[in-house]
Amino acid sequence: MDQRPDLTGAAPEGAVAPSSPTADEHGHDHVLYSVEDGVATITLNRPDAMNALTILMKAALLEALERARDDAGARAVLLTGAGRGFCAGQDLREHADNLDAGVGLDNTVRAHYNPIILTITGMGKPVIAAVNGIAAGAGASLAFACDFRVVADGAKFAMAFSGIGLAPDSGASWTLPRLVGPARARELLVLGEPVGAARALELGMVTSVVPAGELTARARELAVRLAQGPTVAYGAIKQALDFSAAHSLEDSLEVEADLQDACAKSEDHHNATRAFLAKERPVFEGR
């Protein structure tokens, strides 16, 4: 008999039907999505397990990120965790079951983590991580893939991969050196020591550290400000930086020229230029 756990999220016989495709057999939504003031908030919602990522949860997170990407009413995205953790990375209970069943990683890195990271980095609008507590393993990688990290003063980052005999995934080998430099990234990934919020700020891993009680308000403040900004230009800035990270100056100049042409066609650019000349404050509509 197949001993592998059912990772499809399908309800076992007799269970309450899920309330949505992202809910478990008890009707509990593992990822929440809401939009207010132009900001899509995505909340990892398995607080009892420090928001560790199961297959169901990874599928739900990817769905929420794609929804935010395609949502014209959302011009910035806020990613946070429910409870005292941001995200403890891969759910190790599910992982152990997979190891016992002889399926190893069950292709989850390629099937889930990679598309999640590419959807965050490829999002044509700013993504802010509101890091409310520990971000470990792939949970830290999720935060590193975002454009901004607003972090509660009690939060920590733990590059927990080596602690369980794994190498980094979810882009940490790409994002972390770009945040802290190659030598520090090597140290953090090999030694796997947790890094507190204040040290993370010193190292350049995070945008700002705020008192825990102010995290939601401060992260939202940044997100709302970004949601009122020139969305087309923000998307182009992200594309230009990602491209230049792996290309020559000559090639990057070409891409900058193309992106500038696209920005110059945006209504926001036309209106902001007129507003400057009229000595008025520009209002950006995100198009």
Interacting residues toward ligand T3D by CB under 6 A: 49-50, 52, 88-93, 95, 105, 108-109, 134, 136-138, 158, 160-161, 163-164, 166, 169
Instruction: In whole angstroms, give the CA distance from residue 4 to residue 12.
Output: 14
The dihedral built from the CA positions of residue 43, 86, 88 and 238, taken in this order, carries a sign that is positive
Q: Which is nearer to ligand T3D, 55 or 259 (CB)?
A: 55
**Nearest CB to ligand T3D, comparing residues 79 and 236:** 79
Question: Among residues 156 and 269, whose Cβ is nearest to ligand T3D?
Answer: 156
Is residue 208 classed as helix, strand or coil in its secondary structure?
Answer: strand
**Helices 114-121 and 138-145: angle between axes, nearest 10 degrees:** 20
Compute the distance between CA of residue 255 and CA of residue 261 in angstroms, rounded to an integer. 10
CB of 191 to ligand T3D, least distance (A): 14
Q: Which SS3 state, helix, strand or coil, does residue 164 take? A: helix
Residue 65 or 74 with smaller CB distance to ligand T3D: 65
CB of 78 to ligand T3D, least distance (A): 21
Beta strands across the sheet bearing 156-158: 85-87, 134-136, 156-158, 195-196
Nearer to ligand T3D, 35 or 105 (CB): 105
**Three-class DSSP category at 134:** strand
State the minimum distance, in angstroms, from the CB of residue 10 to ligand T3D: 20
Looking at this protein, which amino acid is placed at residue 51? N
CB of 210 to ligand T3D, least distance (A): 20
> DSSP assignment of 86-100, as one string?
EE-SB-HHHHHHHHH
Query: Residue 163 or 282: which CB sits closer to ligand T3D?
Result: 163
Q: How far is the CB of 169 from ligand T3D (least distance, A)?
A: 5
At closest approach, how far in Å is the CB of 241 from ligand T3D?
25
* Dihedral class, residue 127 (left if φ above 0, else alpha if ψ from -120 to 50, else beta): beta
Supply the DSSP symbol for 243: H
Place of tokens 């309330």: 19
Rounded to a whole number of angstroms, the minimum distance from the CB of residue 175 to ligand T3D is 14
| Separation of CA 211 from chain center | 21
Nearer to ligand T3D, 40 or 52 (CB): 52
